[in-house]
C-alpha cells in the first residue's frame, strides 16, 4: 500500500473528532439537519469581529505594491513589532520583533517550534486531557509524547510531572485555558512548576499553547505564563479569538529570558521554511498589525456556557463550568464515555468522547454552535440520562 504504515496507524488513532463529523453527516441526511445537535467541532459559528473584516477589506482594496510577494520567513517586521509590543506590555519582558515569528496558525507555530528543538527520541510531556493532535505534532519531529495525569481539578500535578522527567525530557506542553477541560492554570501552580524547572539537571522548555488565552469567563484573567516560566515559547493564533481558523494566522514568541533566544529564533525561521509553510498568510499579517486588539464576542460565549451548564445541571448532570476556552468537559453519568456517546447519538447529539483526549469518563461539548442549538438540544440530553437505568439493566 502507498500510505506509510505509521500514518495508517496514526489515522486509526486520530479519528474521534473525524468520526463524529462523519456521523453528523450521516445523521443529518437521515433525520434532517434541524434534528441533529453537533457539539463535536471547535469551529466558531460567530462571524469575525467587524473591525477585523473592515481592516481585511480595506487592505485587500488597497492592494499595496509587493503585498503578495515573499517576505522574511518570520513575517513582516511591522507585524512582529506590533506583537512584540503587546507581549512586552502584558508580560513586562523585553520582547522585540526578533523574538516573534508569524506562523500558519497555532498548529504551524507548534510544529515549527517542535522541529526546532527535538532530536530523535526526545521526550515531550503533555498533561491529560490534551488536544489530540499534540501526539502527532510531537512524533512528526521524532519526539515521544509522555502523558501525565493532572489533579482532580485538571490542574497541573507538579509532583506527578516531576516523576516523569528524565534526561531525555526536552519540553513540556501547557495549554491554558485548556481544550478540553476549560481550566486556567493558576499563577501559584505555574510558580511551582518554574521552581521545579529551575531545580532540574538540564534545560527544559515550556511550550505554552495559548489560542484560547483571551476567551475567559466571569472576568477571569489568564496568568501570563511567559512572565512566570523563564524557559517559555508561546504558540498561539487568532483562530479562536477572531473566529478565523480557516485563515491560518498565528505566531510563536521566544522568551527574551531564554539564553539562546537568537539561535532558537534562527532555527524556527528555518523550520518554518523547510516544513513548507514558508511564511504566514501575507494579508492576515497586515490585519494583525492594524487591528491587534479586536476580539470575538465573549458575552455571547459566556451566555452559551451558562445556558448549557445550567441546563445540563438541572437535568441531573454533574457539571463543572469552564473558566475559559469554549468547551464543556462533562462527566458522563456512566463511566464508559464511548457507550454514553452512543446513547447521545441515538438522541441526535454529537459529542467527542473524553477517551479521544486521553481522559475517559467525560465528553467534550463545543460551545461554538448557535445558541438555539443548545436550547433545542437540552431535551435530547434529558432523554439520554433517562435511558441509563434501562442500559445498565441490559
Ligand atoms: C489546544 C489547541 N492548540 C492548537 C490548536 C490549533 O489551532 P490553529 O487552528 O490556530 O492551528 C487548537 C485548535 O483547535 C487547539 O484547540
394 compared with 185, residue with greater pLDDT: 185
- Mean per-residue pLDDT, 154-181: 98
* Nearest residue (CA) to ligand 1, atom 16: 179
Q: What atom of ligand 1 comes closest to residue 238's alpha carbon?
A: 10
pLDDT at 48 over 70: yes
Q: What separation in Å is there between the alpha carbon of 107 and the centre of ligand 1?
A: 6
pLDDT at 15 over 70: no
Helices (H), the chain: 5-13, 16-31, 50-62, 77-91, 105-117, 133-140, 158-163, 187-199, 225-228, 261-274, 282-290, 298-314, 337-346, 371-386, 388-393
pLDDT at 252 over 70: yes
Grid coordinates of 138: 510531537
Q: What separation in Å is there between the alpha carbon of 242 and the centre of ligand 1?
A: 13
Q: What atom of ligand 1 comes closest to residue 248's alpha carbon?
A: 10
- pLDDT tens digit sequence for 61-76: 999 999 999 999 999 9
Question: What pLDDT does 389 receive?
Answer: 74
Comparing C-alpha atoms, which of 8, 12, 11, 41 is closest to residue 24? 41
Collect all residues with Cβ–Cβ distance below 8 Å to 293 and sequence separation of at least 6.
none
- pLDDT tens digit sequence for 255-288: 999 999 999 999 999 999 999 999 999 999 999 9
pLDDT at 33 over 80: yes
Q: What atom of ligand 1 comes closest to residue 175's alpha carbon?
A: 1
pLDDT at 305 over 60: yes
Q: What separation in Å is there between the alpha carbon of 207 and the centre of ligand 1?
A: 13
- pLDDT tens digit sequence for 111-121: 999 999 999 99
CA distance 18 to 24: 10
Count of CB atoms within 10 A of residue 71's CB?
17
Question: What pLDDT does 195 receive?
Answer: 98
10 compared with 257, residue with greater pLDDT: 257
pLDDT at 388 over 90: no
Q: What separation in Å is there between the alpha carbon of 214 and the centre of ligand 1?
A: 14
Question: What pLDDT does 392 receive?
Answer: 62
pLDDT at 200 over 80: yes
Q: What is the mean pLDDT of the chain?
A: 95
- pLDDT tens digit sequence for 205-225: 999 999 999 999 999 999 999
pLDDT at 391 over 70: no
* Nearest residue (CA) to ligand 1, atom 14: 42
Q: What atom of ligand 1 comes closest to residue 108's alpha carbon?
A: 11
Give phi and psi for 236, each to the nearest 5: -160, 180
Contact 297, 44 (CB under 8 A): no
Question: What pLDDT does 394 receive?
Answer: 57
pLDDT at 290 over 60: yes
Comparing C-alpha atoms, which of 22, 30, 39 is closest to residue 371? 39
- Mean per-residue pLDDT, 161-178: 98
Question: What pLDDT does 393 receive?
Answer: 58
Comparing C-alpha atoms, which of 227, 198, 214, 211 is closest to residue 95? 227
Grid coordinates of 310: 445550567
> What lines the ligand 1 site, CB under 6 Å?
42, 105-107, 131, 175, 179, 209, 211, 237, 239, 245, 250
Comparing C-alpha atoms, which of 183, 247, 234, 243 is closest to residue 207? 234
Question: What pLDDT does 24 receive?
Answer: 82
- Mean per-residue pLDDT, 137-142: 97
Amino acid at each position: 500500500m502507498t500510505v506509510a504504515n505509521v500514518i495508517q496507524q496514526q489515522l486509526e488513532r486520530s479519528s474521534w473528532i473525524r468520526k463524529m463529523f462523519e456521523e453528523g453527516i450521516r445523521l443529518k441526511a437521515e433525520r434532517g439537519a434541524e434534528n441533529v445537535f453537533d457539539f463535536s467541532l471547535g469551529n466558531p459559528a460567530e462571524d469575525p469581529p467587524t473591525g477585523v473584516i473592515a481592516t481585511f477589506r480595506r487592505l485587500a482594496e488597497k492592494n499595496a505594491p509587493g503585498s503578495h510577494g515573499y517576505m522574511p520567513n518570520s513575517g513582516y517586521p511591522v507585524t512582529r513589532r506590533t506583537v512584540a509590543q503587546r507581549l512586552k506590555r502584558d508580560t513586562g519582558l523585553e520582547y522585540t520583533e526578533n523574538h516573534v515569528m508569524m506562523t500558519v496558525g497555532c498548529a504551524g507555530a507548534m510544529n515549527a517550534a517542535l522541529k526546532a528543538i527535538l532530536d530523535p527520541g526526545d521526550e515531550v510531556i503533555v498533561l491529560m486531557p490534551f488536544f489530540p493532535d499534540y501526539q502527532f505534532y510531537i512524533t512528526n519531529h521524532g519526539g515521544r509524547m509522555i502523558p501525565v495525569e493532572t489533579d482532580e481539578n485538571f490542574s497541573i500535578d507538579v509532583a506527578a510531572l516531576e516523576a516523569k522527567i528524565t534526561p531525555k525530557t526536552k519540553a513540556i506542553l501547557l495549554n491554558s485555558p485548556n481544550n478540553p477541560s476549560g481550566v486556567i492554570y493558576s499563577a501559584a501552580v505555574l510558580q511551582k512548576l518554574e521552581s521545579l524547572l529551575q531545580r532540574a539537571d538540564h534545560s527544559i522548555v515550556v511550550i505554552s499553547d495559548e489560542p484560547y488565552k483571551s476567551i475567559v469567563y466571569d472576568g477571569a484573567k489568564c496568568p501570563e505564563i511567559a512572565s512566570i516560566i523563564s524557559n517559555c515559547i508561546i504558540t498561539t493564533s487568532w483562530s479562536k479569538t477572531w473566529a478565523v481558523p480557516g485563515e491560518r494566522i498565528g505566531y510563536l514568541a521566544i522568551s527574551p529570558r531564554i539564553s539562546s533566544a537568537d539561535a532558537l529564533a534562527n532555527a524556527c525561521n528555518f523550520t518554518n521554511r523547510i516544513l513548507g509553510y514558508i511564511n504566514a498568510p501575507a494579508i492576515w499579517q497586515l490585519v494583525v498589525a492594524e487591528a491587534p486588539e479586536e476580539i470575538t464576542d465573549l458575552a455571547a460565549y459566556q451566555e452559551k456556557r451558562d445556558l448549557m451548564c445550567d441546563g445540563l445541571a438541572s437535568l441531573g448532570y454533574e457539571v463543572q463550568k469552564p473558566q475559559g476556552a469554549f468547551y464543556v468537559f462533562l462527566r458522563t453519568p456512566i463511566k464508559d464515555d464511548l457507550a454514553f456517546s452512543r446513547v447521545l447519538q441515538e438522541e441526535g447529539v454529537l459529542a467527542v468522547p473524553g477517551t479521544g483526549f486521553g481522559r475517559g469518563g467525560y465528553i467534550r461539548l463545543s460551545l461554538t454552535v448557535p445558541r438555539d442549538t443548545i436550547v433545542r438540544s437540552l431535551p435530547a440530553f434529558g432523554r439520554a440520562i433517562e435511558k441509563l437505568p434501562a442500559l445498565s439493566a441490559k
